[in-house]
Amino acid sequence: MKILLAPMEGLVDSYLRNILTGVGGYDICVTEFVRVVDKIVPKKVFHRLCPELETSATTEAGTPVIIQLLGSDPSVLAENAAYAVELGAPGIDLNFGCPSKIVNRKAGGAVLLKSPDRMHKIISAVRAAVPCPIPVSAKIRLGFDHTDAALDIAHAVEGAGASYVVVHARTKADGYKAPARWEWLGYINDALSIPVIANGDINSVEDYRRCREISGCEEIMIGRGAVSRPDLARQIRHDYQGEPCETMNWAEISHLLMSMAQQMSATVSDKIILGRIKQWLAMLKSVYPEAQHHFDEVRRLSCFSEACFEKFRLALFDG
């Protein structure tokens, strides 16, 4: 089985990828999308969204990081895919799932689900531009407003030569409303010969078991669940292998938060560091009740400078 760490714009960046893959369990990470419009994206943009390109496109734990592209022009996407591989990307993922209204107005993301033929052209062009050993995948939803074309969309992806497809088990209209429609993952999994990666509402080991039972998909991509439960991938992998796995306690989570803040401090402003820590603490509250108290403590701080470092440490560990 494979476990992928999902791209989440403004949240799962290189710092969090490094932290989560260090905990263990992941086979692949996917970057936040690189927006492609009408020309080749500058090298600095690829390196900003995927600084791992400077270290053989892997995290410190050795987990490969593939580049996700978002756009609608087949030839320009193909050129950018080829360039990303030239820069060292070990794989290319194409975003057909982003529900953002701004992205969709510019003919990118989930709006392309309305046109399986265009999706086929995009994937075919990218596949032709990228060397055969490099995987080309697509991230899709079940449709735009409804699921009527879900199988047509999935067949378009497979027919264009994709190596595998990640299916977020919701339509664009569903947004992120629970529950995810895992039964549709099963329909798609039965219809395709390429691997189908399940995505959506996998927030615990129990969720993974139920999703696998309903969909037949053993391979998964996790996003929000990975952020709120940092050892989720490790737990799922151990469970799949029939091995025991202790869950992380709050002291261990606090060390992860401190580690990310320290990593960020070399290149990122104090304001951004504290904002990211508060963002992560807010998501941790769904699993760790302690996170609320520490969120309140961190919120009182104004910076993450050397002078405030001890206060920050106390806010995380002692409160």
pLDDT by 10s per residue, the chain, length 319? 999 999 998 899 999 999 999 999 999 999 999 999 999 999 999 999 999 999 999 999 999 999 999 999 999 999 999 999 999 999 999 999 998 888 888 789 999 999 999 999 999 999 999 999 999 999 999 999 999 999 999 999 999 999 999 999 999 999 999 999 999 999 999 999 999 999 999 999 999 999 999 999 999 999 999 999 999 999 999 999 999 999 999 999 999 998 998 899 888 888 888 899 999 999 999 999 999 988 988 888 877 665 456 666 666 666 5
Asked if residues 157 and 165 have their Cβ atoms less than 8 Å apart, the reply is yes
Domains and CATH numbers, the chain: 3-240 (3.20.20.70), 250-317 (1.20.225)
Q: What is the pLDDT of residue 300?
A: 83
pLDDT value of position 171:
97
The per-residue pLDDT for 66 is 98
Look up the pTM and report it. 0.94
pLDDT of the residue at 166: 98
Please, how many CA atoms are within 13 Å of residue 137, restricted to the half-sphere of its CB? 23
C-alpha 76: how far from chain center: 23
Q: Considering the candidates 29, 50, 98, 211, report the single residue annotated as catalytic.
A: 98
Catalytic: 98?
A: yes
By CB atoms closer than 10 A (0-12, 13-18, 19+), residue 190 is exposed
Determine the residue type at 70. L
Cis check for the bond before 244: say yes or no (omega within 30 of 0). no
Q: Quick one: pLDDT at residue 257?
A: 93
Written as one string, the DSSP assignment of 221-262 is EESHHHHHSTTHHHHHHHHHTT---PPP-HHHHHHHHHHHHH
